[in-house]
Amino acid sequence: MITTRFAPSPTGRLHVGNIRTALHNWMLAKKNGGRFLLRIDDTDAERSREEYVDAIKADLAWLGLEFYDETRQSWHLEHYDNAFQRLRSAGRIYPCYETAQELDLKRKVLLGRGLPPIYDRGALNLTDAERSAKEAEGAQPHWRFKLDHDEQIEWNDGVRGHQHFDPAALSDPVIRRADGSWLYMLPSAVDDITMGVTDVLRGEDHVSNTAVQIQMFTALFAAGMGAQQNLPNFAHEALLVGREGKLSKRLGSLGCDAFREKGIEPEALLALLARLGTSLPVEPIIDREILLETFDLATFGRAPARFDDAELERINTAIIHQLEFVAVSERLPAGMDEAGWHAIRPNLSSLNEAGEWWRLVTGPIDQLDFSAEDRAFLAQAAHALAWGDDPWHQLTGALKEATGRKGKTLFLPLRQALTGMDHGPDMKELLPLIGEAEVRARLERAAHR
The full set of domain ranges for the chain reads 329-449
Question: Is it the case that residue 254 has pLDDT exceeding 90?
Answer: no
Q: What is the pLDDT of residue 449?
A: 78
Burial of 232 (0-12, 13-18, 19+ CB in 10 A): buried
pTM score, two decimals? Answer: 0.91
- Rounded Cα gap, residues 203 and 6, in angstroms: 12
Q: What is the pLDDT of residue 250?
A: 61
What residues contact residue 388 under an 8 Å CB cut-off, 6+ apart? 394
The neighbour count for residue 221, using CB atoms within 10 Å, is: 15
Instruction: Tell me the per-residue pLDDT of 164-183, one tens digit each, with 9 for 90 and over.
Output: 999 999 999 999 999 999 99
Q: Are 389 and 395 in contact (CB under 8 A)?
A: no
Confidence band of 93 (pLDDT split at 50, 70, 90): very high
- Rounded Cα gap, residues 99 and 154, in angstroms: 33
Q: What is the pLDDT of residue 365?
A: 93
- Rounded Cα gap, residues 380 and 85, in angstroms: 93
Question: Is it the case that residue 70 has pLDDT exceeding 70?
Answer: yes
Residue 59's DSSP bridge partners are none
Q: What is the pLDDT of residue 242?
A: 82
% of the chain exceeding 90 in pLDDT: 90
Question: Is it the case that residue 374 has pLDDT exceeding 60?
Answer: yes
Confidence band of 252 (pLDDT split at 50, 70, 90): low
Question: Is it the case that residue 197 has pLDDT exceeding 60?
Answer: yes
Confidence band of 277 (pLDDT split at 50, 70, 90): very high
Question: Is it the case that residue 46 has pLDDT exceeding 90?
Answer: no
Burial of 441 (0-12, 13-18, 19+ CB in 10 A): middle
Residue 254's DSSP bridge partners are none
Q: What is the pLDDT of residue 106?
A: 94
Question: Is it the case that residue 247 has pLDDT exceeding 90?
Answer: no
Q: What is the pLDDT of residue 228?
A: 73
Instruction: Tell me the per-residue pLDDT of 433-444, one tens digit each, with 9 for 90 and over.
Output: 999 999 999 999
Question: Is it the case that residue 213 has pLDDT exceeding 70?
Answer: yes
Helix (H) or strand (E) holding 70: strand 69-72
Q: What is the pLDDT of residue 45?
A: 85
- Rounded Cα gap, residues 58 and 68, in angstroms: 15
Residue with the bigger pLDDT between 243 and 356: it is 356
- Rounded Cα gap, residues 119 and 199, in angstroms: 30
- The whole-number average pLDDT for the span 67-74 is 95
Q: Which among 270, 320, 307, 315 has a CA at the least distance from the CA of 290?
A: 270
Q: Each residue of 315-345: b (16+ CB within 10 Å) or e?
A: bbbbbbeebeeeebeeebeeebeeebbebbb
Widest pairwise Cα distance in the chain: 110
Q: Is 333 left (phi over 0), alpha (psi -120 to 50) or beta?
A: beta
Q: Tell me the average pLDDT of the chain.
A: 94
Which CATH number is associated with domain 329-449? Answer: 1.10.10
Lowest mean pLDDT among 187-191, 305-309, 322-326, 380-384: 305-309
What residues contact residue 441 under an 8 Å CB cut-off, 6+ apart? none
Residue 10, SS3? coil
Q: What is the pLDDT of residue 245?
A: 63
Instruction: Tell me the per-residue pLDDT of 153-162, one tens digit each, with 9 for 90 and over.
Output: 999 999 999 9
- The whole-number average pLDDT for the span 41-49 is 90
Distance of CA 57 to the CA centre of its chain: 13
Question: Is it the case that residue 253 has pLDDT exceeding 90?
Answer: no
Lowest mean pLDDT among 42-51, 203-212, 398-407: 42-51
Confidence band of 251 (pLDDT split at 50, 70, 90): low
- The whole-number average pLDDT for the span 252-271 is 89
Q: What is the pLDDT of residue 246?
A: 61
Q: What is the pLDDT of residue 36?
A: 98
Q: What is the pLDDT of residue 255?
A: 84
